[in-house]
Each structure stands twice: as C-alpha cells, then as structure tokens.
C-alpha cells in the first residue's frame, strides 16, 4: 500500500508521476544520463528499423533501455551515498564504483548486441 493510502488507478497515476519526476531529475542533474538518453533516442528507433523480426528488435533496443535504467539506479546510489557519507569512505567509493561498473557492462552489452546482430549482414 502506498504511503498516502491510495489504491487502484490513483496509485498507478501517482507512481507514474513519481517516475516522471525521477526521469526529469536524471535529465536535469546527471550528464551521463543525458548522454545515454541521447544515444538511446538514436539506437531505439534504429534498432526497431534494422532488426529482422521481434527478437532482433528486442535484442537491439532492450540494452539501450537497460543502460538508462542502470544509470538512474547508479545515480540514486551515488546520491544516497553522498547524503549518508559526505566524507570519503572506502565502502562509499566502492558502492559508487560498482554502480558505474554495472552501467559500463550494460554499455558493453549494447555494443556487443549491435555488432553480433548487424555485422554478419554487412560482412556478406
């Protein structure tokens, strides 16, 4: 149950508004998110156009969306760490580095998906 006690369509609408607020905050405060969002604005339509069939389309589009999701989670972790531990602490640094590594791995997966799906067509 939501904190305000609302349920049903009102709860869904509230969750949608909070999600939009989070996307707006990511765009306003995170340069990495803006860069990756611009990349996704190119890759998602391109992936839908270049993919042969639904599975290829998903394999080209999904990684770009996952990068955005991971970037928002990484930014959330960084914000909480900075709030809780403004001075340097090894564990705080490790948490931030691990969040960054998660985004990096998804970026690698994005590139790998595109190469594995599209390169064979271009090499023939």
| pLDDT tens readout for residues 25-76 | 999 999 999 999 999 999 999 999 999 999 999 999 999 999 999 999 999 9
Q: Domain 31-123's class?
A: mainly alpha
User: Is the pLDDT at 93 greater than 70, yes or no?
Assistant: yes
| pTM given for the model | 0.86
Q: Please, which residues have CB within 8 angstroms of residue 73's CB and are 6 or more apart in sequence?
A: 99, 102
pLDDT digits (tens, 9 = 90+) for 4-35: 566 899 999 999 999 999 999 999 999 999 99
Mean pLDDT over each residue of the chain, to the nearest integer? 93
Among the options 36, 56, 71, 90, which is catalytic?
71
User: Is the pLDDT at 3 greater than 60, yes or no?
Assistant: no
Is 56 a known ligand-binding residue?
Answer: no
Is 7 a known ligand-binding residue?
Answer: no
Is 100 a known ligand-binding residue?
Answer: yes
Q: Is there a catalytic annotation at residue 36? A: no
What's the CA gap between 19 and 96, in Å, rounded?
22
Q: Where are the domains of the chain?
A: 31-123
Instruction: Give the CA diameter of the chain.
Output: 60
Return the pLDDT at 123.
80
**How many CB atoms are located within 10 Å of the residue 26 CB?**
19
What's the CA gap between 58 and 30, in Å, rounded?
26
């Amino acid at each position: 149950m939501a904190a305000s006690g609302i349920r049903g369509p009102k709860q869904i609408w509230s969750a949608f508004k909070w999600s939009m607020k989070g996307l707006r905050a990511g765009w306003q405060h995170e340069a990495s998110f803006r860069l990756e969002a611009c990349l996704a604005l190119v890759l998602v339509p391109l992936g839908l156009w270049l993919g042969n069939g639904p599975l290829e389309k998903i394999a080209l589009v999904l990684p770009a969306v996952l990068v955005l999701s991971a970037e928002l989670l990484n930014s959330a972790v960084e914000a909480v760490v900075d709030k809780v531990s403004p001075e340097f602490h090894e564990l705080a640094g490790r948490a931030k580095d691990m969040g960054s590594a998660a985004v990096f791995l998804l970026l690698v997966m994005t590139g790998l998906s595109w190469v594995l799906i599209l390169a064979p067509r271009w090499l023939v």
